[in-house]
Structure 1
């Protein structure tokens, strides 16, 4: 939960939230009313994404007190203390999730590396050759390649797939995550490998998107279609 992001969003929604708790009286007829409702939807969605444990009635009460010129019910010190406590709790929960993901990834790779056909490189990258090609030249780090890929978490949940989109991807070998850079330079055009990439060869402790938690090992089926020549 990122409270710094949430507060400005709440401020933008004052038109709607002043009526919170009075849903039966809300009218959505004028453009201003419709716009206000849309702002409220956006706030609600953001709060849901951030996992914010906020009370809509309390938010509305604060807005109404200001607009009515009423005495504030809490001191700024009390409010700041509550913000800090919620931020610390959110960070504690996120760290627990990150640690859990790191351990699950470590356990998965330890067992996966024992499977027949799975090879582990010095860096910790694991791969399994699905389709082998005897002849051909592997791309260099400076080459561009066209590939088809299907990426999942170790749970099997898909986070990205050119196969599902039906369109190969094209990019420079040295423009992707470290696990891919290493693997592509070992592959030959026409080959298809399954990669098991440790978090430190992927995105590490950084979450690049909500679909990929921090400290996640990633699994890719990668088919090297061709080395793109100028």
Structure 2
């Protein structure tokens, strides 16, 4: 979202500023070995890193013993059991298959959630499939998709994991509604100034099958949004 771009801009600015200042030499502190030797610590660190990367692929069927042997053979410069030009194809096929399985699982969970959530008397559903609850009703006019809105919001996944919050930064988000996800374009215009709504955004109105890092493909997004203000005809 917008804060990511701002964060990158801030880092770039700091980098330029730092380069303009007189360079200072900092002493580097040697890292003490956490295991028996430095070699052991480095080896373990790289092993953990490789394992973490593989775990994030969400492939469930591993031959862990063979993974270890393959790493050793590569380190020793031995010939691969699979032709080098086939390795990438094998990896890509496995990653694609794992992603498709995960997407199907998430879509099944999504359908079950929205079916059950719709039974709550406090939950309303739009024709597009967006569900919402009115936490605090506002007063006055409502924004349109063409307006610039100022909001406080907190975004969480279905498991309660928070992936973003303007409240944590103590800085409201100001943005034109035509630049946000479809769920916001549909939901925020339902609100008047001062209103607080909770939106349950299906993946098709969020990021779909895209992998957004902290937001897995086909994820339900839950947003608590407070509409602070909006400006008509914003440039």
Where structure 1 has 5 or more consecutive residues not aligned to the other structure, the ranges are 1-22, 29-36, 66-71
Separation (CA, whole Å) in 2 of partners of 1:158 and 1:104 = 19
Separation (CA, whole Å) in 2 of partners of 1:46 and 1:178 = 37
Aligned equivalent of 1:117:
122
Shift of 1:94: 2.0
Shift of 1:43: 8.7
Aligned equivalent of 1:146:
150
**Is the CA contact (8 Å cut-off) linking 2:73 and 2:79 kept in structure 1?**
no
Cα pair distance change 1:47/1:172, threshold 3 Å: farther
- Pick the aligned partner of 1:62 from 47, 60, 74: 74
Deviations 1:4-30 (A, max 9, x none): xxxxxxxxxxxxxxxxxxx858399xx
Equivalences for residues 189-228 of structure 1 within 5 A: 189-209=193-213, 211-228=214-231
Cα pair distance change 1:43/1:169, threshold 3 Å: farther
Shift of 1:98: 1.2
SS at match of 1:185: helix
SS at match of 1:150: strand
Equivalences for residues 64-213 of structure 1 within 5 A: 64-65=76-77, 72-74=78-80, 77=83, 79-133=84-138, 135-209=139-213, 211-213=214-216
State the superposition RMSD in angstroms.
Answer: 3.0
**Is the CA contact (8 Å cut-off) linking 2:74 and 2:80 kept in structure 1?**
no
Cα pair distance change 1:75/1:110, threshold 3 Å: closer
Q: Which runs of 4+ in 1 moved over 6 A?
A: none
TM-score normalised per structure 2: 0.69
**Is the CA contact (8 Å cut-off) linking 1:149 and 1:161 kept in structure 2?**
yes
Where structure 2 has 5 or more consecutive residues not aligned to the other structure, the ranges are 1-35
Shift of 1:42: 7.4
Cα pair distance change 1:146/1:99, threshold 3 Å: same
**Is the CA contact (8 Å cut-off) linking 1:101 and 1:213 kept in structure 2?**
no
**Is the CA contact (8 Å cut-off) linking 1:162 and 1:168 kept in structure 2?**
yes
Cα pair distance change 1:192/1:89, threshold 3 Å: same
Structure 1, 43-52 or 211-220: larger mean CA deviation:
43-52
Shift of 1:46: 6.2
